[in-house]
């Protein structure tokens, strides 16, 4: 799933929606938008775009590319997403940068916790006693397998299916009947924009903060740590394999002697 603010592109369904409205794009317009969403922080030159979207036997001119981009811009504008595709003079095109606001300003969390989340680049969701979403940070959709279901009032398990089956534990945490809960190194692949591995921290909101008990769910990207651990394990396996191989050679030499 690719997402830019209220614009969603679902590669499995080949569907594009903006604020719930479905956009009807031509195949090249769809592929163009998908390419920009896949590289949101890059300026893509015409040659790079053409190399990614056209085969060698049907390479278009830059004028043809401009026509496709113009058509995509027009349909985005009609849906309300104006100026999403920007022109960078003499360089190419890019996706309009998302305003840097990693955590909602109208949140109800304590300033200390907000600082902690910012330092560790963590996102959050707040869940009510009936396990429906009450509040969430603006970039938490990057940790959801189904960001379409990341809506206030919807069950949290729709957007985060890794919590399915843990409902009794979630309720115990909310009621302060169980200490904080930690789920490590979850790997899922439904949302292509999501980190490969995430950690999930579950804790009860400070009872002094609100008269109604709520659950705070913190999401952390642990992809780099997992890659490092996998590399260490691979090196250990290679080392033991080498030792085993050398031992076999030594035994063979002894037999020959």
Number of domains, the chain: 2
Question: Of the candidates 68, 95, 122, which is a domain's last residue?
Answer: 95
Do 175 and 80 reside in the same domain of the chain? no
Could you give the residue ranges of the DSSP H alpha helices within 108-175?
111-119, 156-159, 167-174
Looking at per-residue pLDDT, the higher value among 113 and 143 belongs to 143
Mean pLDDT of 111-128: 75
Do 8 and 63 reside in the same domain of the chain? yes
Do 91 and 137 reside in the same domain of the chain? no
Contacts of residue 218, defined as CB under 8 A and 6 or more positions apart, other chains included, come to 117, 122, 123, 124, 200, 201, 202, 203
Q: pLDDT for 214-224, tens place per residue?
A: 999 999 888 77
Residue 228, pLDDT above cutoff 70? no
Residue 1, pLDDT above cutoff 80? no
pLDDT bin (cut points 50, 70, 90) of residue 151 is confident
How far is the C-alpha of 137 from the C-alpha of 124, rounded, in Å? 6
Looking at per-residue pLDDT, the higher value among 191 and 149 belongs to 149
Q: pLDDT for 76-119, tens place per residue?
A: 999 998 888 999 888 899 988 766 444 344 456 666 666 666 65
Domain annotation covers residue 233 = no
What is this structure's pTM? 0.50
Mean pLDDT of 56-74: 88
Do 123 and 212 reside in the same domain of the chain? yes
Residue 208, pLDDT above cutoff 70? no
Range of the domain at 59: 2-95
Domain annotation covers residue 100 = no
Do 146 and 60 reside in the same domain of the chain? no
Q: pLDDT for 232-243, tens place per residue?
A: 667 666 666 776
Dihedral sign for Cα atoms in the order 209, 215, 221, 226: positive
Domain annotation covers residue 104 = no
CA 31 to chain centre: 20
Domain annotation covers residue 67 = yes
CA proximity to 107, closest of 250, 237, 221, 214: 214
How far is the C-alpha of 3 from the C-alpha of 23, rounded, in Å? 14
């Amino acid at each position: 799933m690719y997402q830019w603010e209220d614009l969603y592109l679902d590669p499995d369904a080949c569907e594009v929606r903006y604020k719930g409205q479905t956009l009807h794009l031509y195949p090249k317009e769809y592929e163009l938008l998908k390419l920009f969403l896949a590289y949101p922080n890059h300026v893509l030159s015409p040659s790079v775009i053409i190399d990614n979207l056209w085969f060698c036997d049907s390479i278009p001119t830059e004028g043809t590319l401009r026509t496709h981009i113009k058509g995509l811009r027009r349909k985005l504008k009609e849906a309300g997403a104006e100026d999403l595709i920007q022109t960078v003079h003499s360089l190419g095109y890019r996706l309009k940068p998302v305003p840097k606001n990693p955590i909602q300003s109208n949140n109800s969390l304590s300033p200390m916790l907000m600082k902690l989340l910012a330092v560790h680049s963590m996102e959050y969701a707040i869940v009510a006693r009936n396990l429906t979403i009450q509040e969430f940070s603006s970039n938490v959709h990057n940790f959801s397998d189904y960001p379409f279901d990341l809506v206030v009032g919807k069950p949290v398990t729709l957007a985060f299916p890794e919590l399915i089956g843990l409902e009794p534990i979630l309720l115990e945490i909310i009621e302060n009947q169980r200490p904080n809960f930690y789920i490590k190194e979850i790997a899922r692949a439904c949302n292509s924009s999501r980190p490969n591995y995430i950690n999930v921290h579950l804790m009860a909101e400070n009872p002094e903060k609100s008269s109604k008990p709520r659950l705070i769910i913190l999401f952390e990207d642990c992809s780099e740590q997992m890659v490092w651990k996998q590399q260490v394990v691979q090196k250990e396996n290679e080392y033991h394999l080498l030792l085993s191989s050398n031992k076999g050679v030594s035994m063979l030499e002894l037999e020959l002697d």
